[in-house]
Chains A and B, each alone.
Chain A
Amino acid sequence: MQTKSDKLILKSGEVIQGRSFGAPISASGEVVFATGMVGYPEALTDPSFRGQILVLTSPMIGNYGVPHKKYWESNKIQVAGLVVCNYIDTPSHHTSKETLGKWLKRFNIPALEIKDTRGLTQKLCSDGVLLGKIICGLPAQAGKNKVTFDDPNARNLVAEISTKKIRMEGQGKKTIVVIDCGIKKNIVRQLVQRGFKVAVVPYDTDVTKLLFPMDAVVISNGPGDPTKVHATILNVKKIMAKKIPILGICLGNQILALACGGTTYKLPFGHRSQNQPCVLSGTNKCYLTTQNHGFAVKKIPKDFREWFYNANDNTNEGIIHKSLPFMSVQFHPESSPGPLDTDWIFDYFLKKAGVRSNSL
């Protein structure tokens, strides 16, 4: 039943009525949309969506329920809220453990079914990203429980979600350090699958001072504005000085650029979809990628060159050092959700880094 109290309020003043199917609470965040047609459990647990109210444009959500935790991208739901066209409460899938609605309630995340997600998406496209809040629950409570518009980009989101202590995963003689700026589990899975030991370290770790030997560093994806992550930028400079091979992913691309004297900027319309075409610069080769970022690299640092660019809007999609094994991509080679076209990036990096796993 639609109760008048369930709604999405945009900072621009617009109020969109909806039907709640998540936790009966209110929350605020940056309203962003994603156009992928599959992968809502992966998207909702992606730390890059931290602090955001996610609008899914695919019109029926919940179809295959929610799988076991081991398939998630982090240990909890990261979005501040979820908005869909139609919620399906009758999932059918062999991996389904619970319905999407139950899961959202369990993690205390509000969710709305608003029908016209297309209209909302168009608004977000023309006005740029907007702040918004979901108001749910009984009318009386909703009135009392005042929610302010909270701009997640003003916070150091990375600090909020990064691991607090070093975590070791996988077996292998060689170790790869992953700087967790809001890492998706699939980055770790990709490396573990290739036979490495992976050390997931807090975002502000001075990697050069770690006591164990390491063969390469990966800077993970993460939410928000890269210029807010000073500590990591400084540390990356140190790693480069030691010539330890570096692969940056998404936010990691921006951090690497900033560490070497490049610049970043906020995109008018972020890339949040699974169908972003990226061209390998200087070739005819194009790959379909998953993306989830609101910022991008503008000035490419000295001694680096453009590695990939976006075929739709020509924005930067990766940089690579002209001689040393430092490279980064703006897209998600680990996918999940999304196309598996670019997992060769990991192999390419490891090869360039001269790191071969012994267990393979």
Chain B
Amino acid sequence: MKNTKKYKKILVLGSGALKIGEAGEFDYSGSQAIKALKEEKIKVILVNPNIATFQTSKDLADEVYFLPVNDYFVEQVIKKERPDGIMLSFGGQTALNCGLELSKRGVFKKYKVKVLGTPIVSIMLTEDRQFFAEHLRSISIPVPESGSATTLAGAKKIAEKIGFPLMVRAAYALGGQKSGVVTNHKQLKEIVAGALAISPQVLIEKYLHHFKEIEYEVVRDKYGNTITVCNMENLDPLGIHTGDSIVVAPSQTLSNLEYHKLREASIKIVQSLQIIGECNVQYALNPHPKGGELDYYVIEVNARLSRSSALASKATGYPLAYVAAKLALGKNLLEIKNKITEVTQSFFEPALDYIVVKIPRWDLDKFKGVKLQIGSAMKSVGEVMAIGRSFEEALQKAIRMQSGQIESLTDSNCLKKANNKELRKLLASPTSKRIFAVVFFIQKGMPLSLIYKMTGIDLWFLERIKAIVMAEKNFGIKKKLTHNTMLSLKQLGFSDKKIGKLCDKNELQIRKIRKQMKIFPSIFQIDTLAGEIPAQTNYLYLTYHGSHNDVVPLGKNAIIVLGSGPYHIGSSVEFDWSCVHTAMALRRYQKESLIINCNPETVSTDYDMSDRLYFEDLSYETVSDIYEFERVGGLIVSVGGQRPNNLANKLSKQGFNILGTTAENINRAEDRNLFSALLDKLKILQPKWQSFSNMTEARKFISKEGFPVLVRPSYVLSGSAMRVCYSKSELANFINQAALLSPEYPVTISKFITNAKELEFDAVAQRGEIMVYAISEHVENAGVHSGDATIVFPTQRVYASTEFQLKEISRKIAKELNITGPFNIQFLVKDNVPYVIEVNLRASRTFPLLSKAMNVNFLDISVDSFFGKAKIHNFVYPKSVVVKSSQFSFSRLLGADPVLRVEMSSTGEVACFGRDFDEALLKSILSTNKFDFKKRGVVLSLRRLVNKAKFLEAAKTIAKLGYHIYATNTTAEFLENNGVPAEVVRKASENAPNILDVINSQKIAFVVNLSENYILSKENKHVITDGFRIRRATVDNQIPLFTDMRLARAFIKALARYKLEDLEIKSYNEYLN
């Protein structure tokens, strides 16, 4: 055996902010990789500005740099740290692209940094579609007929050669961005233009209509030993991005021959690329091949850890990222112990005795104007994974997990408003709701063969769905709940609540009946070997296809921690961070932790994060089943975001022990009426508000208070269905819509205070006394959702007296609600007067940020508080400033208006440290945007005169910095009149060349487009279109866009103060000490 080289210091690149196409899965993979390296006593350096990740936690990497993952900053870190190795495959496409750029520039050679794992030439080969296609053909692996082009004319030529329909993709792009199926020249032109805007090359290939899409996750060591850890089958046919597909593992409709021929091809490809570590191969498989011969094509290869590999890892229990990191060090698969079984090694392929179904989570309704159709460009923001012993059981679980609001596959409520024609369209043209349309038409009796023809969903899946539909139908007629009926409905994945609905009983009644019938879910382990070798694994799921339990209850000493469920807008990796740290802190109290979560992208669902992991739904039914089986000592609902928090009341009523603040007090904070009364009692100010269920009441309130008003239903997270209304008609329109959204709760309107500051108060209390707290400040004015706002800590422009008031108010609230555990209060401050707008008796989005900035883990203190052991932490003023910026994914959401509103729309965030606000802000903005310092043009579109006046100083600065300003007539005129040179360009709605051509010209560094919602609704439609088109063109060209006056001005000020090379390259530890 060759000696493996000993590495002393390895640099790992993270993926930065969560965005569509690159989400929490890279926190999981990076964290596992770092752990694998630490076991080898290697010093690990991590670059990742995503402060809410677990991988950036203190005890993981030796040094963490909260800096942008781009070639400039990473080179600086290399220069400073001088690592002897670098790992590029654990930070998604972002890390890979950064690595390619560094390699191209010779940085690795210059600093003698070895790229570990798959050789960089192989990565380059897989990233160039044409060369890669040639390579595959050369080893006799079929690829679809294709060509690549760098111009539209070139693209047309290829199209004519291959013939429509065609698939068009952008090279080097995340998650199939700017790609799509085209059937004619017009569509071709559209997609190619979009793709060429973000990538120098487009690939055009034959579109394989209704082929199956199959994936293999392959692992290879440097000795050539190769295995496929898992295969997966998409329920949706080819053409829908795998990130947007319902995925099943292992494949269900493949024969032995198909399974193993594709497996063999995967191994051949991976061998040919000399992959060391992990690789994903995606295939198109013809379901009806001519002559019965195997007919397949390779459609994509990712020479790195991917979303699919995270899913495969969770689906099988095989720690892919951990193993990949060990292999990158030169280890043999046989040397690496199987962490799950502890008795076998890592050269094996898991045998599954269960079925896994993944369903994406889309939040498309959060985006105004977005195209709902899904296709080859990914749009989902998260996913859930369900485990069952039948497809039906797993699918129904996954449906419930996805939103927590749809009880069954057969609940096609979301289609209620659609007419027949729209419904058929929903079937034929894929959207996030297609699965419900399929069910709807099966219910209506449409032949499955026709549904297959329209959707391309294999008949096998359709038959299984039909089995669910028929069981429901049959039960709905007789409504007789015998033991056999109950068991069979449970085996088909129906929830107690749904069964109740079908026979006019409530969830609790069904639960009681079920328990009397002694029908309980079995608790099964995921052991990677289908029971072949007895394994002590703590990775569990529930199923009704069983009659025994694999484990015995943990009992009183165990505590359940509820996770956050799927990532979605408003609930992301920050809650997973809280969840993991809570589980870890429980160990300090010799408690056994038991995590329940259903999100495969998380660290909390890793095998070694808790004493027991239930990969399960966060529903009342499932949590109760687990609680009652395990007979645990308590339950923590306050660290996984709003979803577990919403369960507090119901769980508490059933007598479950909830740690921390009581459910009753949680309800007093969540219920607007109770909360308002509480504030009044404590003499704490709040914006005037009223709850109402009819328009007459609403009008009365408004005539007294005046517009604008903020309208929202109760139990809000991420501002869903929240809106600022500026006029009567706007209000009326919105009410009609919102009332439908949440019929159980009244809708409230409150006075919207304009030009106010927003402050966050985050804290942990124990029996009503605050133990630790932090105040952070929004850079934008109130009106931008706190999840979208730029946040700075410590506060920069808040009076000490205001902070004092905030603290006093919070103290009173904590006392009144007898808070134990984490909480967050949002304040509005106008003219130095604070108003309370919201209290959340749970960990907030800002907890990881503040914990890291203050070097005090709020979750540790929170767990202390649960056991009455928390101590008061004196606030120490930090030595540095940290700024959080939000990451938007508008460029992936065709048609969405990229403007900040009260509704949250960001998909992720970063936070960077600096010696002052300006430096931290600049780093933070550079982390979420592709800012090109070489580009010297700036587009200003300032709209109202008051904006222009307020922005004048900033415009002068831009000019002084040597930027060339482009503006439309009134803005340009204003600037010229005030001595700022600006080039006049035509409006977006006018003839070319206009402002859009300027934006498309690749010379613009950033765009400022100040547009406030109420302006839009007041002015004529023409203006709306112009503003929208400017914003859209900006994000489509991946140019930094500023739509908020305060943020734009702060950014420009920072840009003037700091040159790129002035930004300090300091690690997290250096900022703390």
Contacts and interface: CB of A to CB of B under 8 A. Distances in A.
Interface of A: 2, 33, 35-39, 41-42, 57-60, 63-64, 67, 71, 85-86, 88, 90-95, 115-119, 121-122, 125-126, 269, 273-277, 279, 284-286, 288, 311-312, 335-341
| The 5 nearest A-B residue pairs measured at CB | A39-B256, A92-B460, A90-B463, A35-B351, A35-B530
30 contacts: A35-B351, A35-B529, A57-B531, A58-B352, A58-B353, A59-B389, A63-B253, A64-B255, A92-B459, A94-B288, A94-B289, A95-B292, A115-B389, A115-B545, A118-B353, A118-B546, A119-B546, A119-B548, A121-B531, A122-B550, A125-B531, A125-B533, A275-B349, A275-B350, A276-B348, A284-B1, A312-B343, A312-B348, A312-B533, A341-B267
A68 to B, nearest CB: 9
B225 A285 contact: yes
Interface of B: 1, 223-225, 227, 250-257, 259-261, 263-264, 267, 287-289, 292, 332-334, 343-345, 347-355, 389-391, 458-460, 463-464, 484, 491, 522, 524, 529-534, 545-548, 550
A2 B484 contact: yes
A286 B223 CA distance: 9
Nearest to B255: A64
A200 B344 CA distance: 38
B353 A273 contact: no
Contacts of A36: 351
A38 B256 contact: yes
A118 B1 CA distance: 40
Contacts of B251: 38
Contacts of B522: 116
A121 B532 contact: yes
Given A36-B351, A116-B547, A285-B223, A122 B534 contact: yes
Given A90-B463, A121-B530, A286 B333 contact: yes
Given A58-B353, A95-B255, A337-B256, A288 B227 contact: yes
A69 to B, nearest CB: 14
A92 B458 contact: yes
Contacts of B345: 277, 311-312
A58 B531 CA distance: 11
B255 A93 contact: yes
Nearest to B547: A116
A91 B292 CA distance: 17
Contacts, number: 173
A91 B344 CA distance: 35
A63 B252 CA distance: 7
A339 B389 contact: no
Between A119, A126, A279, the greatest number of chain B beta carbons within 10 A of the residue's beta carbon is seen for A119
A244 B464 CA distance: 55
Contacts of A277: 334, 345, 347-348
A125 B532 CA distance: 7
B532 A116 contact: no
A63 B460 CA distance: 7
A37 B253 contact: no
Contacts of B546: 115-116, 118-119
B213 to A, nearest CB: 16
Contacts of A276: 348
Contacts of B287: 94
Contacts of A339: 260, 263-264, 349
A346 B1033 CA distance: 61
B347 A86 contact: no
Given A92-B253, A116-B547, A286 B531 contact: no
B211 to A, nearest CB: 13
A276 B350 CA distance: 10
B353 A38 contact: no
Given A38-B251, A95-B292, 5 more contacts: A116-B548, A119-B548, A122-B531, A312-B345, A338-B256
Contacts of A63: 252-253, 460
Contacts of A126: 534
Contacts of A273: 351, 530, 532
B260 A116 contact: no
A35 B287 CA distance: 26
A58 B114 CA distance: 43
Between B223, B225, B459, B548, the greatest number of chain A beta carbons within 10 A of the residue's beta carbon is seen for B225
A286 B225 contact: yes
Nearest to B354: A59
A142 B497 CA distance: 41
A54 B460 CA distance: 24
Contacts of A93: 253, 255
Between B252, B349, B353, the greatest number of chain A beta carbons within 10 A of the residue's beta carbon is seen for B353
Nearest to A42: B256
Between A117, A269, A288, the greatest number of chain B beta carbons within 10 A of the residue's beta carbon is seen for A288
A67 B345 CA distance: 35
A38 B391 contact: no
Between A37, A57, A58, A339, the greatest number of chain B beta carbons within 10 A of the residue's beta carbon is seen for A37
B335 to A, nearest CB: 9
Contacts of A274: 349, 351
A341 B615 CA distance: 33
B531 A90 contact: no
B292 A92 contact: no
A39 to B, nearest CB: 4
B853 to A, nearest CB: 48
A37 B390 contact: no
B234 to A, nearest CB: 15
Between A277, A286, A337, the greatest number of chain B beta carbons within 10 A of the residue's beta carbon is seen for A286
A88 B463 CA distance: 10
A90 B345 CA distance: 38
Contacts of A37: 250, 259, 351-352
A284 B332 contact: yes
A118 B524 contact: yes
A35 B224 CA distance: 26
B351 A275 contact: yes
A72 to B, nearest CB: 11
A8 B203 CA distance: 57
A274 B227 CA distance: 12
B263 to A, nearest CB: 6
A60 B390 contact: yes
Given A125-B532, A275-B349, A338-B260, A38 B254 contact: yes
Contacts of B348: 275-277, 288, 311-312
Given A118-B524, A125-B531, A275-B350, A336 B223 contact: no
B463 to A, nearest CB: 4
Nearest to A90: B463
A88 B252 CA distance: 11
Contacts of A115: 389, 491, 545-547
Contact of A85 (B351, B484, B545): B545
Nearest to A39: B256
A235 to B, nearest CB: 33
A33 B288 CA distance: 32
Contact of B391 (A57, A60, A64, A337): A60
Nearest to B390: A86
Nearest to B343: A312
Contacts of B550: 118, 122
Contacts of B354: 59
A284 B334 contact: yes
A278 to B, nearest CB: 9
Nearest to A340: B264
Between A39, A91, A92, A117, the greatest number of chain B beta carbons within 10 A of the residue's beta carbon is seen for A92
A63 B355 CA distance: 13
A86 B252 CA distance: 13
A340 B260 contact: yes
Nearest to A278: B347
A279 B547 CA distance: 38
A16 to B, nearest CB: 8
A13 B353 CA distance: 25
B210 to A, nearest CB: 13
Nearest to A37: B250
A118 B254 contact: no
